[in-house]
Amino acid sequence: MSRIIDEHRLYLRDRHRVSAYERALKEVVAPGHVVCDLASGTGILGMLACRAGASRVYAIEESAIAGLAREIAKANGLAERIVSVRGNARFVSLPERADVIVCDQIGGFGLESDIVALFKDARERFLRGGGVLVPSEIELIVAPVEHARLHARLRFWQRRPSGFDFTPAASIAANTGYPVRLQPAHLLGLPAAGGRVDLGSDVALPIQVAASLEASRDGVLHGITGWFVARLSPGVRLTNSPLAPSRISRRPIFFPIDEPIAVKAGTPIDVSMRLLPSETMYSWDVQVGSAAPFRHTTLRGMLIAKEDLARTNPGYRPKLTPAGEARLTVLQLADGSTTLEEVERRVYERHKELFASPAQAAVFVAEVVTRYG
């Protein structure tokens, strides 16, 4: 059973998401337009672009779902208009520039899927002058949160599970962002826009997010949450806000603070964040009234073993593992003249210590070739 298929089923059944993209593409795609669909998945956005009048869609998809997407396009009579391009969008080329670039690489807080770098590359190499990006802008929204059950995830590591001390994990848990489903009742105050990212221009890094919030009722602050509002077209917005009746099913991100803090209605809550989407490196500082600020960063939330850290030392001398040697063999034999059967045979003969059978070697070769061949 493919979990990827079920993931795309959830995308397709999200009527607010699909409807928003359909309305946006109707606004920006004119008859005869060329459209580029990045990370196209099952091809739904490309098919919606065809419905809006596109004469040709380049559907760029790195994963094997590209094969299924081709069959879906054929089943809908669109095989001649949708051109499947298999590969990572940053490493493929197109024979012509597009009038519209569309994708749905928007994370829970807008940027986790690194849409900033993706669109920078795509607009420079794929978009014609005066072309349109969908989405074109992402607004980052933050709000204070009261949610004791969520914060209990941090407390868990201090409760001696099975009678053992797990407190070294507590700092990692406190410096991690969590995708969560929130109800309006979980918000301790009104949300505020912390920043806007214009995907049509170069974005200064790190991205700065700042907002002055206020508790609208007495309660306990457990952290902040972040969600997005994306401008798909002049008349269409897409959001995962827990306050929006038409919100899509993508979950906002909860950023905890170390210790819950009681607040009164009217207490100021100042939030400052710095985001490096490509590295998924986020920091968040939360100042509650005159109390000492809470300072968090996903740098302290990363699982980094001592031996892995040593490998980042500039003086480290890397050496391939046996599996790395086998991968190198595959890459060297992929010269455009050696058959796959011959590659499999040679890899098995050279690296018998890694493979129990020729069949296992064939699977290994297939994994390398499908990624790099």
The tens digit of pLDDT for each residue in 111-165 reads: 988 899 999 999 999 999 999 999 999 999 999 999 999 999 899 999 999 999 9
CATH of domain 3-104: 3.40.50.150
Mean pLDDT (whole number) for 100-119:
94
Give me the phi and psi of 225, to 5 degrees please: -125, 155
Q: In angstroms, rounded to a whole number, what is the distance separating the alpha carbons of residues 194 and 83? A: 39
- Residue 1 binned pLDDT confidence (cut-offs 50, 70, 90): very low
Pseudo-torsion of CA 27, 30, 31, 36, nearest 10°?
A: -100
User: Is a pLDDT exceeding 70 seen at residue 202?
Assistant: yes
> What's the confidence (pLDDT) of residue 175?
96
Burial 63-75 (b: 16+ CB within 10 A, else e): eebbebbbebbee
What are all long-range contacts of 157-164, with beta carbons under 8 Å and residues at least 24 apart? none
- Residue 182 binned pLDDT confidence (cut-offs 50, 70, 90): very high
Say which CATH architecture domain 138-304 belongs to.
Answer: Distorted Sandwich (2.70)
**High-pLDDT (> 90) share of the chain, %:** 87
User: Is a pLDDT exceeding 90 seen at residue 167?
Assistant: yes
User: Is a pLDDT exceeding 90 seen at residue 313?
Assistant: no
Q: In angstroms, rounded to a whole number, what is the distance separating the alpha carbons of residues 118 and 120? A: 6
User: Is a pLDDT exceeding 90 seen at residue 314?
Assistant: no
> What's the confidence (pLDDT) of residue 268?
98
Count the helices and strands in the chain (H runs, E runs).
11, 15
Contact criterion met (CB below 8 Å) for 192 and 143: yes
Q: In angstroms, rounded to a whole number, what is the distance separating the alpha carbons of residues 40 and 122? A: 14
User: Is a pLDDT exceeding 80 seen at residue 73?
Assistant: yes
Annotated domain spans of the chain: 3-104, 138-304, 322-372
pTM above 0.95, yes or no: no
Q: In angstroms, rounded to a whole number, what is the distance separating the alpha carbons of residues 103 and 89? A: 11
* pLDDT digit string, tens, across residues 323-353: 999 999 999 999 999 999 999 999 999 999 9
Q: In angstroms, rounded to a whole number, what is the distance separating the alpha carbons of residues 132 and 136? A: 8
- Amino acid identity of residue 199, one-letter, is L
